[in-house]
Amino acid sequence: MTDQTGAPPAALPEVLSLDAGDLRHALREGWRDFVAHPAYGAFFASVYVAGGWLLTFAFTAKGQMWWTLPAAAGFPILGPFIACGLYEISRRREAGQGMVLSEILGAVLRQKDRQIPSMAAVIVVFFLFWNFLSHMIFALFLGKATMTNVSSSLAVFLTPEGMMMLAFGTAVGAVFATLLYALTVVSLPMLLDDREVDFVTAMLTSLALVRENPVIMLGWGAFIAVLLFVGMLPGFLGLFVVLPVLGHASWHLYRRAIAWG
């Protein structure tokens, strides 16, 4: 039995046990990929940097808040495709193939006919549900508070209700972020691989990997969060280095974490 592309179905992937050495290997190889082709990494990272600037403008420019939602919504849709560009560079370098921008972009664009759009849809659903839930949490804790413009006055967050809202919202957000991370940490690079695998199998495999290596994988997720935070501090400019290195490292971590029967 073959799929619609004519390729034979792939054997089910097997998750492997990881240790800190595997993370160091992935990060080291990710850095080598970035140093070997920094212009490509900067090209794909520029989408996120520009998005960060746009969001900052939306939050700070008076009367421009309506930009916030479409700008933020674009990230879950475009993010997987941009990440695929970094994975494709690492895959090509690993296979000894040349780096041609048109071919790399073509490989990314071809993902629209595979499983990446389904993954993007899952991420969008997470984003929309979290956006709805965050409004519910705000209404639950501060629904009876005196009307105020929270974008210009932060005093409401210093009240007992405001601090409880921040604590509860942070906890719920951490659960959502952890679940989304567990579903996507290796599923996105897996979908870019030459093997044909559906997005559900990819997500379940990613989840199984985190379940098999909870300390290592959650530690990797925390490390990613810290690096992204540091990269955003100097006007998002640090993301020109942080994002490509992490993107390349994610590909190499996938190669160390998944075995195909």
Residue 212: C-alpha distances to residues 125, 146, 215 (Å): 26, 48, 9
Question: Residue 21 CB: number of other CB atoms within 10 A?
Answer: 9
* C-beta separation of 73 from 31 below 8 A: no
pLDDT number for residue 50: 84
The average pLDDT across 132-146 equals: 77
pLDDT bracket for residue 3 (50, 70, 90): very low
Give the orientation angle of helix 68-95 with respect to helix 116-142, to 10 degrees. Answer: 140
pLDDT bracket for residue 2 (50, 70, 90): very low
pLDDT higher than 80, residue 216: yes
H/E stretch holding 142 reads helix 116-142
pLDDT digits (tens, 9 = 90+) for 8-40: 455 678 999 999 999 999 999 999 999 999 999
- The token pair at 162 is 């405001």
Give the span between the Cα atoms of 116 and 130, in whole angstroms.
21
Give the span between the Cα atoms of 141 and 172, in whole angstroms.
14
Q: What angle do CA 146, 71, 156 make, to 5 degrees?
A: 15
pLDDT higher than 60, residue 190: yes
Mean pLDDT (the chain) is 82
- Of the ranges 64-68, 166-170, 231-235, 251-255, the best mean pLDDT one: 251-255
Give the span between the Cα atoms of 244 and 43, in whole angstroms.
9
The average pLDDT across 114-129 equals: 84
- The token pair at 261 is 């029967």
Look-up of token digits 């933020």: 72
Give the span between the Cα atoms of 191 and 84, in whole angstroms.
9
> Helix (H, G, I), strand (E, B), or coil: what is residue 259?
strand
Give the span between the Cα atoms of 261 and 259, in whole angstroms.
7
- The token pair at 23 is 């993370």
pLDDT digits (tens, 9 = 90+) for 220-257: 999 998 998 888 888 888 889 999 999 999 999 999 99
- The closest alpha carbon to 171, from 139, 130, 204, belongs to 130
73 versus 104: the higher-pLDDT residue is: 104
pLDDT higher than 80, residue 199: yes
Length of the chain equals 261
pLDDT number for residue 22: 96
Per mean pLDDT, which range of 26-30, 88-92, 98-102, 132-136 is the poorest? 132-136
pLDDT number for residue 61: 65
- The closest alpha carbon to 76, from 21, 36, 116, 19, belongs to 116
The average pLDDT across 160-182 equals: 86
pLDDT higher than 50, residue 167: yes
Look-up of token digits 């939602």: 69
Q: What angle do CA 255, 257, 261 make, to 5 degrees?
A: 85
> Helix (H, G, I), strand (E, B), or coil: what is residue 15?
strand
